[in-house]
């Protein structure tokens, strides 16, 4: 079976959880020997791991016919794509796109990020998808998140193959209910056209059913998983320069992640005990407000902001922590607590997170219940049995949550929509 | 081929029942008897106790929850069940007999929230067809860790039962039927000669629970073992529509007992009293089932006995060695329900590290809290078992998760430890403290003795 996937991010160049999930899922699915995956992203950087799937760059897909010599193509594409591939795609240009801005290769340029003209970029992506869908041979289409739904629909219309869409988040999660109508309409359109909808948690599934009026029969939950940590990361030594316990919040400092509840809980804990420090790692539009709030509560001496952390820094921070906390107001899944558990850090997560549905050896609290949150923090840093239990049991639990199993579930859905 | 083929039906019978040989006086004892024993226990559930309460708030219990649960159970189960049993005893002219084991914490709560239940137990006690058993006051696990505490609690419970029902209990039943040879010796030291425990399969093997056994280490101690199959048929399966024996009628149940091989004469039905009316609701017909039992039993010549009567009537067939601790809980029938993970162990160890010191304290509030914090239920709630047993833990637990149960309990315990340490300086170790207290005690005694001497001398002097 061949699957044509549309995604927006792919490691190592990622901006959020979407890229990590796309990578994990495709890698898990690649263990199925009879499955081939072509993965379309807006802008490959050339350093993506292509050992288990084929990456197709939308920015290397011609939509306007240009006569280009193979030598030039080789020079421009590096290892991202072969000239033959380019020519094959060029044979499938299906309409006159000369009104669009294209480069000397006849390709549209993409930022591959989330720019201000995102809607335009989404539309362009869908135009390229038309070319790709005409050229590629595949049995099923799989679109990751709303940015790629239009591309998926386009491919479905061209090929007549079934469309599976993967909901990693909805706009209801991102905006705490104040949805952007344009985004909503793209999301709803994608779901209406889909033959099957995969959600990352039951929480998201409920939103899809109730807020987007989808039939429950065509919505299935496939929980995310987590990649095993590499040797590099395992070898990172925790940094402990004080005897204090470290409680860490790690993520975008935005409304969705509930940072203010963390600050309030920290203030409660510090009322009672002194040997503890709080870290808020990440950046976001609420950073400044949080700095003010911490100052207002008079805990700035024990409350630290690290700014945005990248790659290895994330694990350095995690490994130096005694507690990881994710008080998200609405989290479709939330892979980061799983990553914390992998390196043996006890976790506290909100019941409003999708990952709470599959995790047992973690403390679950309501995001607004700062008393319970403070109590949980206190418990882990005060009672050694609690710390040790969550550390060891949490690790062994998360080691059993594998992408391979998630991939198998996705495969079953493929088989179903293909009528196998 | 055919080497072992039995030669006659008689031979076959002997082959299948090797125990017959060991059973003495078989001819004289040919009647089966049912021994009912009901457990009644309610813990003092803790209220939501946050860490900021440590050191400031010293009341630990969730009064609302405790009261509403107790009153609900009393109304749906204890009262109607007591009434049913009372009527049965009267209707059968004393031939129906049962035994109860009521924990001290249950009695304390009944006294506050549903005293009518205690009255109805007193009424039952007067019929002389009801026996009350001995256990630890708090339904605690102290037998596993703290022998001194165990003695104190058993004595306390025994005194309480005697004062309420007029009879000193003579048969012992440990919390949740926990038992081992070592524990049997400890109980025997307290003067008990009969102990109730679980007929755990991994201990019995091919043996039947339907006999009286004796302790392997102490031949004077008789063991009565729960017939798990028949007991659980009533407790868990009675209203289970999926069960192939559903519906269970008294007729059928007594037939099963009647069909047990003749020499197996004792059927121990041990269960939670809440089976009647709570675990099996009134609508399931559980009370009618109970009521109909004596009638069918009489037809088959089956009697009812209390544990004491059983112990007096039946001789033990053989010693039973139980080197490892067993209980009646969960699939494993061991201690894993209470001490199965590191959380439970830490809480348990922390609690009992206080024992010696607490017993030197005279403060009554501390003594009371000490008892209430020992109830095994607190540890039961911390169980992280999953699958079918996990559902049972979840059913009884007032907490959403075991972690919450642990945190709450540890917070309370932290406060309790502070209070205990505030009584005496913690720099003084227990031994030293004990000797100081003894000295003070002796001096007080001496002073009062001298004072009374002084008084008599003075009065004598006044006379002369």
What is the per-residue pLDDT across B86-125, written as a single tens digit (0 to 9) for each? 999 999 998 999 999 999 999 999 999 999 999 999 999 9
Q: Please name the CATH architecture into which domain B27-320 falls.
A: Alpha-Beta Barrel (3.20)
pLDDT, averaged across chain A = 92
Instruction: Tell me the sheet residues that pair with A198.
Output: A166, A220
Is residue B360 packed enough to be buried (19+ CB in 10 Å), middle (13-18) or exposed (0-12)?
A: middle
Contact B403 A363 (CB under 8 A): yes
When pLDDT is cut at 50, 70 and 90, the band that residue A394 belongs to is very high
What is the arithmetic mean of pLDDT over A221-248? 88
Contact A379 B347 (CB under 8 A): no
**Under a CB-based contact definition with an 8 Å cutoff, are residues A96 and A65 in contact?**
no
Give the minimum alpha-carbon distance from A349 to chain B in angstroms, rounded to a whole number.
Answer: 13
Residues of A in contact with B410 (CB under 8 A): 379, 382-383, 386
Per residue in B250-291, pLDDT (tens digit) is 999 999 999 999 889 999 999 999 999 999 999 999 999 999
Residues of A in contact with B406 (CB under 8 A): 379, 383, 385-386
Residue B113 dihedral angles phi and psi, to the nearest 5°: -100, -25
Nearest CB neighbour to B341, from listed A272, A378, A389? A389
Contact A385 B400 (CB under 8 A): no
Q: Quick one: A241 and A265 in the same domain?
A: yes
Instruction: Return d(Cα A334, Cα A20) in angstroms, integer.
Output: 11
Using CA coordinates, name the residue in chain A closest to B345. Answer: A385
- What angle is formed at CA A345 by the lines to CA A341 and CA A350, rounded to 5 degrees? 70
Task: Supply B49's token pair.
Answer: 């106790």
Task: Supply A196's token pair.
Answer: 């099957």
**Under a CB-based contact definition with an 8 Å cutoff, are residues B223 and B199 in contact?**
no
Using CA coordinates, name the residue in chain A closest to B406. Answer: A386
Q: Compute how many other C-beta atoms are within 10 angstroms of the C-beta atom of residue A332.
A: 25
Instruction: Return d(Cα A234, Cα A342) in angstroms, integer.
Output: 9
Nearest CB neighbour to A375, from listed B50, B345, B401? B50
Domains identified in chain A, total number: 2
Percent of the residues in chain A that have a pLDDT greater than 70, as a whole number? 100
Is residue A148 pLDDT above 50, yes or no?
Answer: yes
The packing angle between helices B79-91 and B115-126, to 10°, is: 20
Give the minimum alpha-carbon distance from A386 to chain B in angstroms, rounded to a whole number.
Answer: 6
C-alpha dihedral (B143, B148, B152, B154), degrees to nearest 10: 30
- What angle is formed at CA B343 by the lines to CA B338 and CA B346, rounded to 5 degrees? 90
Contact B401 A364 (CB under 8 A): yes
Q: Quick one: A41 and A69 in the same domain?
A: yes
pLDDT at B7: 45
Residues of B in contact with A360 (CB under 8 A): 384, 386
CA neighbor of A248 nearest in space, from A211, A277, A215 = A277
Instruction: Tell me the sheet residues that pair with A76.
Output: none
Contact A363 B404 (CB under 8 A): yes
What is the arithmetic mean of pLDDT over B199-218? 91
Using CA coordinates, name the residue in chain A closest to B413. Answer: A383
Which stretch of A199-208, A410-419, B24-33, B364-373 has the lowest confidence by average pLDDT?
Answer: B24-33
Give chain B's radius of gyration (CA, Å).
25
Instruction: Return d(Cα B235, Cα B286) in angstroms, integer.
Output: 10
pLDDT at A357: 95
Task: Supply A261's token pair.
Answer: 């509840």
User: What are the residue numbers of the active site of B?
Assistant: 176
When pLDDT is cut at 50, 70 and 90, the band that residue A356 belongs to is very high
Residues 6+ apart with CB under 8 A from B298: B92, B95
Mutation test of the interface with chain B: which of A267, A341, A351, A386, choosing the one with the most B Cβ atoms within 10 A?
A386
Using CA coordinates, name the residue in chain B closest to A366. Answer: B400
Residue A268 dihedral angles phi and psi, to the nearest 5°: -65, -45
What is the arithmetic mean of pLDDT over B130-139? 96
Per residue in B187-208, pLDDT (tens digit) is 999 999 999 999 988 889 899 9
pLDDT at A95: 92
Q: Quick one: A213 and A243 in the same domain?
A: no
The packing angle between helices B147-165 and B104-113, to 10°, is: 40
Residues of A in contact with B343 (CB under 8 A): 385-386, 389
What is the arithmetic mean of pLDDT over B399-413? 93
pLDDT at B387: 60
CA neighbor of A13 nearest in space, from A80, A61, A82 = A80
Is residue A225 pLDDT above 70, yes or no?
Answer: yes
pLDDT at A418: 93
pLDDT at B30: 60
CA neighbor of B138 nearest in space, from B128, B130, B146, B126 = B146
User: E strand or H helix at B338, and its extent?
Assistant: helix B336-339
The CATH number covering residue A268 comes to: 3.40.50.2000
Using CA coordinates, name the residue in chain B closest to A386. Answer: B343
Nearest CB neighbour to A385, from listed B343, B386, B411? B343
Buried b or exposed e, range B179-199, using 16+ CB within 10 angstroms? bbbebbebbbeeebbbbbbbb
Coil, strand or helix: which one is B37? strand
Contact A364 B407 (CB under 8 A): no
Contact A375 B401 (CB under 8 A): no
pLDDT at B27: 42
Looking at the whole model, is its pTM more than 0.95?
A: no
Instruction: Return d(Cα A17, Cα A332) in angstroms, integer.
Output: 11
- What angle is formed at CA B310 by the lines to CA B306 and CA B314, rounded to 5 degrees? 170
Residues 6+ apart with CB under 8 A from A205: A199, A219, A220, A221
What is the arithmetic mean of pLDDT over A154-159? 95
pLDDT at B332: 86
Per residue in A241-289, pLDDT (tens digit) is 778 999 999 988 988 899 999 999 999 999 988 899 999 998 889 999 9
Residues of B in contact with A382 (CB under 8 A): 51, 410, 414
Contact B400 A376 (CB under 8 A): no
Residue B315 dihedral angles phi and psi, to the nearest 5°: -95, 145
What is the arithmetic mean of pLDDT over A229-241? 84
What is the arithmetic mean of pLDDT over B225-230? 94
Contact A272 B403 (CB under 8 A): no
**Domain residue limits at A53:** 2-225+403-417
């Amino acid at each position: 079976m061949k699957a044509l996937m549309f995604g927006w991010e792919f490691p190592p160049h990622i901006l959020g959880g979407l890229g990590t999930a796309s990578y994990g899922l495709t890698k898990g699915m690649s263990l199925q020997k009879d499955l081939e995956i072509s993965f379309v992203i807006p802008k490959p950087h050339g350093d993506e791991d292509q050992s288990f799937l084929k990456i197709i760059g939308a920015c290397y897909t011609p939509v306007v016919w240009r006569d280009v010599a193979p030598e030039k193509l080789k020079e421009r594409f590096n290892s991202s794509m072969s000239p033959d591939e380019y020519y094959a795609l060029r044979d499938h240009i299906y309409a006159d796109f000369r009104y669009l801005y294209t480069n000397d290769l006849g390709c549209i340029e993409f930022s591959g990020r989330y720019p201000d003209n995102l809607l335009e970029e989404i539309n362009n992506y869908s135009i390229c998808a038309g070319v790709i869908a005409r050229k590629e041979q595949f049995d099923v289409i799989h679109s990751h998140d709303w940015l790629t739904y239009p591309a998926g629909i386009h491919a479905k219309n061209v090929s007549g193959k079934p469309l599976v869409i993967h909901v990693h988040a909805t706009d209801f999660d991102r905006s705490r209910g104040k949805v952007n109508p344009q985004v909503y309409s793209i999301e709803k359109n994608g779901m209406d056209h889909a033959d099957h909808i995969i959600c990352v948690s039951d929480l998201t599934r409920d939103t899809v059913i109730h807020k987007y009026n989808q039939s429950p029969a065509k919505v299935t939950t496939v929980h995310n998983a987590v990649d095993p940590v590499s040797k590099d990361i395992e070898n990172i030594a925790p940094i402990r320069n004080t005897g204090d316990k470290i409680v860490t919040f790690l993520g975008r400092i935005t409304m969705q992640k509930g940072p203010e509840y963390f600050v309030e809980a920290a203030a409660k804990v510090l009322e009672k005990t002194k040997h503890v420090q709080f870290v808020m790692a990440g950046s976001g539009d609420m950073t400044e407000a949080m700095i003010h709030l911490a100052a207002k509560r008079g805990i700035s001496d024990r409350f630290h902001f690290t700014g945005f952390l990248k790659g290895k820094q994330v694990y350095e921070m995690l490994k130096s922590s005694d507690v990881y906390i994710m008080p998200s107001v609405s989290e479709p899944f939330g892979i980061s607590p799983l990553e914390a558990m992998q390196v043996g850090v006890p976790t506290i997560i909100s019941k409003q997170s999708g990952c709470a549905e599959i995790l047992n050896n973690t403390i679950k609290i309501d995001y607004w219940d700062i008393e319970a949150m403070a109590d949980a923090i206190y418990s882990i840093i005060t009672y050694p049995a609690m710390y040790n239990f969550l550390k060891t049991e949490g690790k062994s639990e998360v080691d059993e949550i594998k992408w391979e199993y998630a991939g198998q579930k996705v495969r079953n859905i493929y088989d179903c929509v293909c009528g196998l | 081929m055919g080497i072992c083929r039995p030669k006659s039906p008689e031979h076959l019978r002997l082959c299948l029942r090797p125990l017959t040989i060991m059973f003495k006086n078989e001819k004289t004892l040919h009647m089966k008897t049912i021994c009912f024993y009901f457990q009644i226990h309610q813990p003092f559930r803790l209220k939501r106790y946050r860490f900021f309460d440590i050191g400031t708030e010293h009341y630990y219990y969730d009064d609302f929850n405790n009261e509403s649960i107790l009153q609900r159970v009393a109304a749906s189960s204890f009262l109607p069940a007591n009434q049913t049993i009372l009527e049965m005893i009267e209707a059968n002219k004393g031939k129906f007999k049962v035994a109860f084991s009521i924990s001290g914490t249950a009695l304390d709560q009944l006294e506050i929230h549903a005293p009518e239940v205690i009255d109805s137990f007193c009424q039952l006690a007067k019929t002389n067809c009801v026996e009350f058993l001995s256990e630890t006051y708090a339904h605690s696990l102290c037998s596993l860790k703290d022998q001194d505490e165990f003695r104190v609690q058993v004595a306390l419970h025994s005194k309480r039962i005697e004062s309420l029902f007029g009879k000193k209990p003579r048969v012992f039943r440990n919390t949740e039927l926990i038992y081992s040879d070592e524990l049997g010796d400890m109980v025997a030291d307290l003067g008990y000669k009969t102990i109730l425990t679980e007929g755990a399969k991994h201990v019995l093997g091919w043996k039947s629970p339907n006999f009286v056994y004796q302790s392997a280490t102490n031949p004077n101690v008789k063991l009565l073992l729960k017939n798990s199959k028949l007991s659980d048929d009533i407790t868990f399966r009675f209203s289970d529509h999926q069960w192939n024996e559903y519906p269970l009628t008294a007729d059928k149940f007594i037939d099963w007992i009647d069909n047990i091989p003749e020499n197996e004469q004792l059927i121990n039905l041990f269960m939670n009293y809440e089976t009647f009316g709570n675990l099996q609701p009134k609508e399931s017909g559980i009370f009618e089932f109970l009521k109909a039992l004596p009638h069918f039993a009489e037809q088959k010549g089956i009697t009812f006995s209390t544990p004491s009567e059983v112990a007096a009537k039946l001789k033990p067939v053989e010693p039973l060695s139980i080197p490892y601790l067993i209980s009646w809980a969960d699939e494993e029938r061991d201690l894993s329900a209470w001490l199965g993970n590191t959380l439970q162990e830490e809480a348990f160890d922390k609690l009992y590290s206080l024992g010696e010191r607490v017993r030197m304290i005279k403060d009554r509030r501390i003594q009371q809290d000490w008892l209430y914090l020992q109830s095994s239920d607190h540890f039961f709630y911390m169980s992280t078992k999953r699958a079918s047993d996990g559902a049972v833990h979840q059913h009884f637990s007032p907490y959403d998760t075991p972690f919450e149960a642990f945190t709450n309990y540890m917070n309370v315990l932290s406060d309790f430890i502070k209070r205990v340490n505030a009584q005496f300086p913690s720099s003084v170790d227990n031994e030293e403290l004990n000797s100081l207290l003894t000295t003070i005690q002796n001096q007080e005694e001496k002073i009062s003795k001298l004072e009374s001497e002084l008084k008599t001398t003075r009065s004598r002097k006044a006379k002369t």
